[in-house]
Amino acid sequence: MAKNNKKNDLMLENAPSPDKLPGKMDKKKEEEENEPTADELRQMMKKNHSEARGPGAGRMIREKPKNLRETVGKLLRYIGKSKWLVFLIMLTTIITSVLNSLGPRLQGAAMNTMTLSASRLDVDFEALVHTLVLMGIVYLASAVMQLFQGFASAKISQTTVYTLRQDLFRKISYLPISYTDTHPSGDIMSRMTNDVDNVSNAISSSLTSLISAVLTLVLSLVMLLSYHWSVVLVTLITIPLTIFASMKLSAFMRKYFVKRQVLLGQMNSQVEEMVTGYKTVMAYGKEEDACREFAEISEEFRKCSIKANLWGGVMGPVNNIINNVNYLLVAAYGAFLSMKGIILPGDIQAVLQYSRQLTFPINQIANQYATLLTAAAGAERVFAILETPDEVDEGTNPMTVEQIRGEIEFKNINFSYIPGKQVLHDFSLTVKPGQKIALVGATGSGKTTVVNLLTRFYDVDSGEIKIDGVNVNDIPKSTLRRAIAIVLQDTVLFRDTIGNNIRYGRLDATEEELEHAADMSESDEFINRLPEGYETVLAEGGSNLSQGQRQLLAIARAVLADPKILILDEATSSVDTRTEMHIQQAMVALMKNRTSLIIAHRLSTIRDADIIIVMQDGRVMESGNHDELLEKQGVYYNLYQNQFAGFET
């Protein structure tokens, strides 16, 4: 993804994720108990995709109806983008098919130069040599054309797949947050890799075969008619049987190949989840459980693959039997015509080969049906993502980030992820520019949902949210999100240098600005102790740093972004008390004259907030500063007493 789009991705994990299992319990992000469960979110999204999987899933497969013709049509449109390659394939295939159709006739002519009469073999050597030379030229030219054909097939295959992957990656980059919340990352990765590879294999091996099959069918029919019309009728006797067998067997094959692709995506998701959360799996001694769950999915994949390959393998032998019957009938009838003097003895060889070529296209398609089905199933899964609507952005207001002052108004907000399970109830809040607002409340009170709606990860059911008097729906999302910086509890770091990870906040930052941001976030101390300093390359997810150090880098990134609105979602939850004190001092300077929303469980971190909003079950129960709320002795007072009981004397 292009770097100028990455800032949005830093906030993806802010939405509730259904894709958690024991291997991901090291992520300490609270899950709102009133917010949707994984199964409910899947029901909400099932119109688009049916393969979503949550914890412990993998034993039930939902197959939506497939449209093979529509999928092939879409794929052909992608192939058609390489027009000159398609033309080259068509040209070489036509020439190759014509040359191959001349082969049997030349063989028959060569045999007819030899006659047997009165126990004597007579050979027309001049005609034989002439025919053999012509045969050599034909076969050599056919080989050259096949060489060009192979080059064009490989070129168009990789070009098509390149375009398909580019479009798919772009689509994934702009999918709604709700999609990534309801689809395992492993399944999405499987579509990008396995499914696209299957499409590539089908294009490279089957495209020319299908074109060649049609041409071969037509040319063989013409050649057979040139000998005698009745030969065509005998050859066509077994064609209906071949078609019937192919249709019946393909009906069994299709469902297994579609199901196998779905299971493959689930296996990838399972492996990705286990690798991500392997520390937690080991810490809780769940290795056997993880292995057992993977074994169940793998066993189902094994059984499905056996059935798919079994039915795919049956197609060839069945058609071979039918072809052998056809060969016997044509040979007998050809001998009969030869005895009647209608055709020459050498023509029997040509007729037999043309009869083979007449049935060859059907057999070729049948034998490649397994490859075509796998590719079709993969292509359908790819197009399912490509046809998912992009994140809606109807904002047209010309306001710029620099013009935003940071006044926020939530007015009578009602919201539910799932109809019937409301998360926010008539929520209203007014934040003046530069104010520091804290959101507190028990798990499930809807604090994170407020942030999701402000950043338009989700849209409200009713009510409106305004920034500087402008409805957020009218502000382009790129402008809105550039004006907001979020520091999450679950830090997002990339496999890059420490300096570049911090620069995600602002890509054009100077070295001095970078170091100043690190200094303000208290991260410069540990960075300077590293042998390569800011050039230190982080492992995947920043796993070569402690959780606290990762959080400090996320804070430095927010400092560098210099946002109009700052959101701290449990931003200091993973650092020690001493470091937290230093960060709080830095945050005071950072939040000065900047609108700030703080989500916190540690009430000690928000005592100096201008307004503290106490939420419960999606409603505002209390609001005021720290001292005012303690005087009320209400919900906030009880939370404070429970958290600090025993610490005061």
Alpha carbons 550 and 92: distance in angstroms, whole number: 58
C-alpha Rg value of the chain to the nearest Å? 35
Which tokens sit at 229? 């019309």
Alpha carbons 81 and 471: distance in angstroms, whole number: 42
Entry field: residues in the chain? 649
Q: What residues are paired with 427 via a beta bridge?
A: 413
At 52 the three-state DSSP class reads: coil
How many CA atoms within 13 Å lie on the side-chain side of 182?
23
> pLDDT at residue 56 above 50?
no
Alpha carbons 323 and 355: distance in angstroms, whole number: 9
Q: Using alpha carbons, select from 341, 339, 338 the residue that is nearest to residue 350.
A: 338
Alpha carbons 586 and 517: distance in angstroms, whole number: 10
* Contact (Cβ atoms closer than 8 angstroms) between residue 564 and residue 406: yes
What does the pLDDT read at residue 45?
A: 38
Which tokens sit at 248? 């019946």
Q: Which helix (H) or strand (E) holds 465?
A: strand 462-467
- DSSP label of 37: P
Which amino acid, one-letter code, is at 232?
Answer: V
What does the pLDDT read at residue 42?
A: 39
Q: Tell me how far CA of residue 138 lies from CA of 93, 116, 126, 132, 519, in angstroms.
A: 14, 28, 18, 10, 77
Which amino acid, one-letter code, is at 284?
Answer: Y
Alpha carbons 613 and 431: distance in angstroms, whole number: 11
- Report, as an integer, the average pLDDT of 226-237: 81
pLDDT tens, position by position, 155-206: 888 888 888 889 999 888 888 888 887 787 778 888 888 888 888 877 877 7
Alpha carbons 221 and 206: distance in angstroms, whole number: 22
Alpha carbons 299 and 541: distance in angstroms, whole number: 31
DSSP per-residue codes, 176-213: -HHHHHHS-HHHHHHIIIIIHHHHHHHHHHHHHHHHHH
- Report, as an integer, the average pLDDT of 308-332: 80
Q: Tell me how far CA of residue 510 lies from CA of 147, 176, 267, 538, in angstroms.
A: 55, 33, 44, 21
pLDDT tens, position by position, 513-554: 999 888 888 888 899 998 899 999 988 778 788 877 888 888
Residues whose CB falls within 8 Å of the CB of residue 324, separated by 6 or more in sequence, listed in order = none
pLDDT tens, position by position, 500-512: 999 988 888 899 9
- Report, as an integer, the average pLDDT of 337-354: 79
Q: Helix 287-339 to helix 345-367 angle, to the nearest 10 degrees?
A: 160
Question: Model-level pTM?
Answer: 0.64
| Phi–psi pair at 441, nearest 5 degrees | 155, 165
How many CA atoms within 13 Å lie on the side-chain side of 226?
14
Q: Which residues of 80-106 are buried (b: 16+ CB within 10 A; e: fewer)?
A: eebeebbebbeebbebbbbbbbbbbbb
Q: Which of 251-260, 266-275, 361-370 has the lowest mean pLDDT?
A: 361-370
What does the pLDDT read at residue 193?
A: 82
Residues whose CB falls within 8 Å of the CB of residue 546, separated by 6 or more in sequence, listed in order = none
> β-strands 462-467, 470-471: how paired?
antiparallel
Which tokens sit at 127? 């005609």
